[in-house]
Amino acid sequence: MKTILETNNVTKIYESGNLVVKAVDAVSISVQAGEFVGLVGPSGSGKTTMLAMLAALLQASDGSLKIDGYNLSEMNDIERTRFRREKIGFTFQSNNLVPYLTALENVELMLRLNKKYNRKSRQHARDLLLRLGLEDRLDSLPSQLSGGQQQRVAIARSLIHDPSVVLADEPTASLDTERANQVVGIFADLIHEQNRAGIMVTHDLRMCKYVDKVIQMVDGRVTNIITERAAIDQLASSSKLAEAPAPKAKPVQQPQSLLAHAMPNLVGAAG
Protein backbone atom coordinates (compact mmCIF):
# COMPACT_ATOMS: atom_id res chain seq x y z
CA MET A 1 0.00 0.00 0.00
CA LYS A 2 1.13 3.52 -0.73
CA THR A 3 2.27 5.59 2.22
CA ILE A 4 0.31 8.84 2.10
CA LEU A 5 1.38 10.43 5.36
CA GLU A 6 4.72 10.15 7.07
CA THR A 7 6.19 12.06 9.96
CA ASN A 8 9.74 11.84 11.19
CA ASN A 9 10.65 13.05 14.68
CA VAL A 10 8.04 15.79 14.57
CA THR A 11 8.35 18.06 17.55
CA LYS A 12 6.31 21.03 18.66
CA ILE A 13 7.80 23.28 21.31
CA TYR A 14 5.95 26.15 22.95
CA GLU A 15 8.02 28.85 24.52
CA SER A 16 6.83 31.59 26.80
CA GLY A 17 9.57 33.50 28.56
CA ASN A 18 11.71 30.93 30.35
CA LEU A 19 9.05 28.27 30.02
CA VAL A 20 9.72 25.69 27.31
CA VAL A 21 7.26 22.87 26.79
CA LYS A 22 7.31 20.07 24.25
CA ALA A 23 3.68 19.53 23.30
CA VAL A 24 4.72 16.95 20.70
CA ASP A 25 8.01 15.16 21.17
CA ALA A 26 9.73 13.40 18.27
CA VAL A 27 6.68 11.68 16.84
CA SER A 28 7.21 9.42 13.85
CA ILE A 29 4.15 7.81 12.33
CA SER A 30 2.94 6.77 8.92
CA VAL A 31 -0.49 6.19 7.39
CA GLN A 32 -1.19 4.26 4.21
CA ALA A 33 -3.83 4.86 1.59
CA GLY A 34 -7.08 3.23 2.69
CA GLU A 35 -5.96 3.15 6.31
CA PHE A 36 -8.06 4.70 9.08
CA VAL A 37 -6.03 5.57 12.17
CA GLY A 38 -7.23 6.47 15.62
CA LEU A 39 -5.06 8.90 17.54
CA VAL A 40 -5.88 8.56 21.22
CA GLY A 41 -4.54 9.78 24.51
CA PRO A 42 -5.43 11.78 27.58
CA SER A 43 -5.95 15.53 27.55
CA GLY A 44 -2.66 17.31 27.03
CA SER A 45 -1.09 14.29 25.35
CA GLY A 46 -0.42 16.31 22.21
CA LYS A 47 -2.81 14.50 19.89
CA THR A 48 -4.70 17.61 18.83
CA THR A 49 -1.43 19.51 18.35
CA MET A 50 -0.27 16.63 16.18
CA LEU A 51 -3.50 16.77 14.19
CA ALA A 52 -3.13 20.55 13.76
CA MET A 53 0.38 20.05 12.36
CA LEU A 54 -0.84 17.32 10.01
CA ALA A 55 -3.58 19.68 8.86
CA ALA A 56 -0.96 22.35 8.07
CA LEU A 57 -2.59 24.62 10.64
CA LEU A 58 0.48 24.63 12.85
CA GLN A 59 4.16 24.69 11.98
CA ALA A 60 6.33 21.99 13.54
CA SER A 61 9.32 23.17 15.55
CA ASP A 62 11.43 20.27 14.34
CA GLY A 63 11.20 17.12 12.26
CA SER A 64 9.48 16.55 8.95
CA LEU A 65 5.89 15.96 7.89
CA LYS A 66 5.20 14.64 4.44
CA ILE A 67 1.75 14.20 2.98
CA ASP A 68 1.30 12.87 -0.53
CA GLY A 69 4.88 13.87 -1.33
CA TYR A 70 4.60 17.44 0.01
CA ASN A 71 6.90 18.49 2.80
CA LEU A 72 4.80 20.64 5.12
CA SER A 73 7.84 22.00 6.96
CA GLU A 74 9.01 23.83 3.85
CA MET A 75 5.72 25.59 3.12
CA ASN A 76 4.91 29.23 3.79
CA ASP A 77 1.51 30.40 5.02
CA ILE A 78 0.01 30.84 1.56
CA GLU A 79 1.22 27.43 0.41
CA ARG A 80 -0.17 25.82 3.55
CA THR A 81 -3.57 27.43 3.02
CA ARG A 82 -3.61 26.07 -0.52
CA PHE A 83 -2.44 22.67 0.72
CA ARG A 84 -5.26 22.52 3.27
CA ARG A 85 -7.74 23.42 0.57
CA GLU A 86 -6.54 20.82 -1.92
CA LYS A 87 -5.08 17.94 0.04
CA ILE A 88 -6.83 17.87 3.41
CA GLY A 89 -10.36 16.99 4.36
CA PHE A 90 -11.21 18.17 7.85
CA THR A 91 -14.02 17.40 10.27
CA PHE A 92 -14.04 19.39 13.47
CA GLN A 93 -15.53 18.81 16.87
CA SER A 94 -18.04 21.63 16.39
CA ASN A 95 -18.67 24.74 14.25
CA ASN A 96 -18.21 22.51 11.26
CA LEU A 97 -20.61 24.05 8.83
CA VAL A 98 -21.22 27.47 7.33
CA PRO A 99 -24.53 28.43 8.97
CA TYR A 100 -25.99 30.25 5.97
CA LEU A 101 -25.33 27.45 3.47
CA THR A 102 -27.58 24.42 3.07
CA ALA A 103 -26.24 20.91 3.61
CA LEU A 104 -25.73 20.55 -0.13
CA GLU A 105 -24.04 23.96 -0.43
CA ASN A 106 -21.77 23.19 2.52
CA VAL A 107 -20.57 20.05 0.75
CA GLU A 108 -20.14 21.88 -2.56
CA LEU A 109 -18.13 24.56 -0.78
CA MET A 110 -14.89 22.58 -1.00
CA LEU A 111 -15.31 22.26 -4.77
CA ARG A 112 -15.97 25.98 -5.09
CA LEU A 113 -12.93 26.75 -2.93
CA ASN A 114 -10.81 24.58 -5.20
CA LYS A 115 -12.38 26.05 -8.34
CA LYS A 116 -13.56 22.58 -9.29
CA TYR A 117 -17.26 23.38 -9.23
CA ASN A 118 -18.95 22.37 -12.47
CA ARG A 119 -22.20 20.91 -13.78
CA LYS A 120 -21.55 17.53 -12.22
CA SER A 121 -20.64 18.90 -8.81
CA ARG A 122 -24.17 19.17 -7.50
CA GLN A 123 -24.92 15.56 -8.38
CA HIS A 124 -21.60 14.49 -6.84
CA ALA A 125 -22.43 16.29 -3.58
CA ARG A 126 -25.97 14.94 -3.66
CA ASP A 127 -24.72 11.35 -4.12
CA LEU A 128 -22.35 11.70 -1.22
CA LEU A 129 -25.08 13.04 1.05
CA LEU A 130 -27.41 10.25 -0.07
CA ARG A 131 -24.68 7.77 0.84
CA LEU A 132 -24.62 9.39 4.29
CA GLY A 133 -28.38 9.03 4.66
CA LEU A 134 -29.23 12.69 4.28
CA GLU A 135 -31.39 12.52 1.17
CA ASP A 136 -34.24 14.42 2.82
CA ARG A 137 -32.01 17.08 4.38
CA LEU A 138 -30.18 18.36 1.31
CA ASP A 139 -31.69 21.82 1.44
CA SER A 140 -31.70 22.17 5.21
CA LEU A 141 -29.59 24.79 6.91
CA PRO A 142 -27.23 23.57 9.67
CA SER A 143 -29.57 25.02 12.30
CA GLN A 144 -32.27 22.64 11.02
CA LEU A 145 -30.01 19.56 11.35
CA SER A 146 -29.25 17.44 14.39
CA GLY A 147 -25.67 17.15 15.66
CA GLY A 148 -25.21 13.79 13.97
CA GLN A 149 -26.61 15.07 10.69
CA GLN A 150 -24.27 18.06 10.86
CA GLN A 151 -21.30 15.75 11.39
CA ARG A 152 -22.35 13.63 8.42
CA VAL A 153 -22.53 16.75 6.24
CA ALA A 154 -19.04 17.67 7.49
CA ILE A 155 -17.81 14.20 6.57
CA ALA A 156 -19.23 14.60 3.06
CA ARG A 157 -17.53 17.98 2.78
CA SER A 158 -14.21 16.52 3.94
CA LEU A 159 -14.29 13.88 1.20
CA ILE A 160 -15.82 15.55 -1.84
CA HIS A 161 -12.68 17.22 -3.20
CA ASP A 162 -10.59 14.02 -3.29
CA PRO A 163 -8.19 14.97 -0.48
CA SER A 164 -5.03 12.98 0.22
CA VAL A 165 -5.75 12.82 3.93
CA VAL A 166 -8.97 13.09 5.90
CA LEU A 167 -8.63 14.35 9.45
CA ALA A 168 -11.25 14.35 12.17
CA ASP A 169 -10.93 16.08 15.52
CA GLU A 170 -13.22 14.48 18.10
CA PRO A 171 -16.05 14.05 15.59
CA THR A 172 -18.25 12.31 18.16
CA ALA A 173 -17.70 14.65 21.09
CA SER A 174 -21.20 16.11 20.97
CA LEU A 175 -23.03 12.95 19.88
CA ASP A 176 -24.79 10.22 21.79
CA THR A 177 -23.43 6.66 21.49
CA GLU A 178 -25.80 5.59 18.75
CA ARG A 179 -25.14 8.63 16.61
CA ALA A 180 -21.40 8.44 17.34
CA ASN A 181 -21.27 4.85 16.09
CA GLN A 182 -23.30 5.76 13.04
CA VAL A 183 -21.08 8.74 12.13
CA VAL A 184 -17.73 7.04 12.67
CA GLY A 185 -18.94 3.85 11.00
CA ILE A 186 -19.88 5.71 7.83
CA PHE A 187 -16.67 7.73 8.02
CA ALA A 188 -14.60 4.54 8.19
CA ASP A 189 -16.54 2.95 5.33
CA LEU A 190 -16.00 5.93 3.07
CA ILE A 191 -12.29 6.14 3.88
CA HIS A 192 -11.91 2.47 2.99
CA GLU A 193 -14.11 2.71 -0.10
CA GLN A 194 -12.32 5.75 -1.45
CA ASN A 195 -8.88 4.49 -0.44
CA ARG A 196 -8.03 7.62 1.55
CA ALA A 197 -5.71 8.00 4.50
CA GLY A 198 -7.74 8.97 7.56
CA ILE A 199 -6.83 10.05 11.07
CA MET A 200 -9.35 10.52 13.83
CA VAL A 201 -8.47 12.09 17.16
CA THR A 202 -10.82 10.77 19.83
CA HIS A 203 -11.27 10.44 23.55
CA ASP A 204 -13.79 7.71 23.07
CA LEU A 205 -11.90 4.44 22.81
CA ARG A 206 -15.11 2.65 21.81
CA MET A 207 -14.78 4.32 18.44
CA CYS A 208 -11.50 2.49 17.90
CA LYS A 209 -13.42 -0.51 16.65
CA TYR A 210 -13.79 1.29 13.34
CA VAL A 211 -10.08 2.07 12.86
CA ASP A 212 -7.29 -0.04 11.40
CA LYS A 213 -4.55 1.27 13.66
CA VAL A 214 -4.50 2.97 17.05
CA ILE A 215 -1.72 5.37 17.96
CA GLN A 216 -1.59 6.18 21.66
CA MET A 217 0.06 9.38 22.81
CA VAL A 218 1.03 10.49 26.29
CA ASP A 219 2.94 13.66 27.18
CA GLY A 220 3.60 14.45 23.56
CA ARG A 221 5.10 11.07 22.74
CA VAL A 222 3.79 8.03 20.94
CA THR A 223 3.66 5.36 23.59
CA ASN A 224 1.97 2.59 21.70
CA ILE A 225 0.91 1.68 18.18
CA ILE A 226 -1.66 -1.10 17.91
CA THR A 227 -2.23 -2.65 14.50
CA GLU A 228 -3.62 -6.07 15.31
CA ARG A 229 -7.37 -6.26 14.83
CA ALA A 230 -7.92 -8.34 17.93
CA ALA A 231 -5.96 -5.95 20.11
CA ILE A 232 -7.81 -2.96 18.70
CA ASP A 233 -11.20 -4.60 19.28
CA GLN A 234 -10.18 -5.53 22.80
CA LEU A 235 -9.15 -1.93 23.50
CA ALA A 236 -12.45 -0.69 22.11
CA SER A 237 -14.64 -3.16 23.97
CA SER A 238 -12.82 -3.24 27.28
CA SER A 239 -12.90 0.46 27.91
CA LYS A 240 -15.72 2.87 28.35
CA LEU A 241 -13.26 5.45 29.55
CA ALA A 242 -12.94 8.53 27.50
CA GLU A 243 -9.20 8.53 27.77
CA ALA A 244 -6.53 6.02 26.91
CA PRO A 245 -4.75 4.59 29.94
CA ALA A 246 -1.50 6.26 30.89
CA PRO A 247 1.57 3.99 30.67
CA LYS A 248 2.53 2.18 33.80
CA ALA A 249 5.91 3.87 33.94
CA LYS A 250 4.23 7.20 34.51
CA PRO A 251 1.24 6.64 36.79
CA VAL A 252 1.24 10.24 37.94
CA GLN A 253 0.97 13.07 35.49
CA GLN A 254 4.36 14.73 35.25
CA PRO A 255 4.87 18.47 35.62
CA GLN A 256 5.78 18.54 31.94
CA SER A 257 2.35 17.21 30.95
CA LEU A 258 0.59 19.69 33.16
CA LEU A 259 2.51 22.44 31.44
CA ALA A 260 1.80 20.95 28.06
CA HIS A 261 -1.87 21.06 28.94
CA ALA A 262 -1.65 24.64 30.10
CA MET A 263 0.63 25.96 27.38
CA PRO A 264 -1.95 26.43 24.63
CA ASN A 265 -3.84 28.73 26.93
CA LEU A 266 -0.65 30.54 27.83
CA VAL A 267 0.67 31.07 24.33
CA GLY A 268 -2.58 30.91 22.43
CA ALA A 269 -2.02 27.73 20.51
CA ALA A 270 -3.39 24.25 20.55
CA GLY A 271 -2.26 21.49 22.87
Q: Where are the beta strands (DSSP E) in the chain?
A: 3-16, 19-27, 30-32, 36-40, 62-67, 70-71, 88-91, 165-169, 197-202, 213-218, 221-226
Contact between 250 and other proteins by CB under 8 A: the answer reads no
Q: What are the two backbone dihedrals, phi and then psi, of residue 62, each rounded to the nearest 5 degrees? A: -155, 160
Contact between 141 and other proteins by CB under 8 A: the answer reads yes
Shorter beta-carbon distance to other proteins: residue 125 or 235: 125
Contact between 118 and other proteins by CB under 8 A: the answer reads no
Instruction: Name the segment binding other proteins (CB under 8 A); options: 67-75, 78-86, 228-236, 247-255.
Output: 78-86
Minimum CB separation of residue 27 from other proteins in Å reads: 17
Give the footprint of other proteins on residues 98-117 (CB under 8 A).
98-101, 105, 109-110, 112-114
CB 194 within 8 A of CB 4: no
Minimum CB separation of residue 144 from other proteins in Å reads: 12
Reduce the DSSP state of residue 2 to 3 states and report it. Answer: coil
Contact between 122 and other proteins by CB under 8 A: the answer reads no
- The DSSP line for 176-206 is -HHHHHHHHHHHHHHHHHTT-EEEEEES-GG
Shorter beta-carbon distance to other proteins: residue 111 or 197: 111
Reduce the DSSP state of residue 121 to 3 states and report it. Answer: helix
Contact code string over 153-182 relative to other proteins, x by CB under 8 A: ----x-----------x-------------
Minimum CB separation of residue 112 from other proteins in Å reads: 6
Amino acid at residue number 120: K
CA–CA distance, 112 with 118 (Å, rounded to integer): 9
CB atoms within 10 A of CB 144: 12
Give the footprint of other proteins on residues 36-75 (CB under 8 A).
48, 51-52, 55, 57-58
Contact between 120 and other proteins by CB under 8 A: the answer reads no
Task: Fill in the DSSP letter of residue 55.
Answer: T
Task: Point out which residues bind other proteins (CB under 8 A).
Answer: 48, 51-52, 55, 57-58, 78, 81-86, 88, 90, 92-96, 98-101, 105, 109-110, 112-114, 141, 157, 169, 268-270
